Chain A
């Protein structure tokens, strides 16, 4: 599916890398040219996953920590398909429902020997997959004290976001809408408010469904987006990855450019004078 146009990709890449129109994203002292972080779960096959991830232009991918399947009936380890030299690995604590479990998974992830970064995620409700913010805070404090660079998945609550920043997180990641829902940003005001008040980067994590969602999300002024299902569950993940790359850049530049005021009245764009008799 790489017929989607090397020309446009090159153009986007040029803008991303030029540093003229936008500054790079810096998280925890590490610089990223792409403002997109992508997950590696739920793809129909590994080849499509790798192709989509490359097409997205991302430099950081999330991975999960799980038992090795000794019966080989499930998937092999992700590192058989994705090189840690090509992508910065951000391990997650997905599936954890307590602070204790999240800390355990984070320590296992660090012991893999790649880096000390962790996407902290402590779920509080099985139906909505909304975060347990008390447990998330507790785990964030523990992990930050142990030297982890914590990127914390949280809800769109300002006070929790502030507490996570105080706890030492290198990025705070409020949801746009529930994980895997594809509902887009349900509360743009709260996302803007979190971005306004935090010093650390704000990455919107979860809920973006398509390119327009990504664009609208970036127009709120946030520093980046983390997504998985929007790519993996698209009919054509590689094409969608190209679309997301463009949408994120478009939304970011539109935010930086500053939009015109919206008004519920028409104003002509052409001169009203000089018309013929």
Chain B
């Protein structure tokens, strides 16, 4: 039996979380539920005829579709390529910046600045750089000691994949580096000092103290970057608009867009959205579960 004060507290609790619940219900839960509902219909966006309930036909069609599996492959390649490089790159950069006494703020600011650009602007800048006559080829020719070689940043299927990964890496590396720096700052200095007194070297301190204590930040960065990568759309969209072959970078979000806007098949597009959503939930849950297996405490 809960006391009167507890009940009152609970009521106030509900009162305070109500706006957030209302917000998420309207802008998140309802669209998710609606997408699932829509995915069970054969529904032409333009048709005035009522949509036809087809159970899981849209899902079955997707699983038999070559285009869908190509999208899964394109998303997987992009996500793994971006996710791994972002994780390792941002961790390395954060340690490097954190170890600096001078210019730390400058480096943080410089790294973070691409994140404030919209993805469309970022992709447009890179489209100019990666144009066959752009700086991309000039730099690569200088770097590789070649002359007049076209590295086909858009044209070659593998290069177009690498280019999209490169743009995403450039745009978000600063964001995740800042998160790691915040994580590093939260590790109490006393622990590191104690380790130094005990005779631990720099590498040992990082490996035995910093990394384990940084685990919650690693999990956070993993979840955020994975979601970010799997939802990537604008870069691939602009690449395709600029003449890059679609198949190698036809990620699930681009497939959703084309299925809905080009083909008018909103039911099938919703089915892809639901699959993407469930995949994201699954990965996020797995990461959180793995992250919780060894809880970190600074006490």
* A in complex with B: no
Residues of A bordering B, CB below 8 Å: none
Residues of B bordering A, CB below 8 Å: none
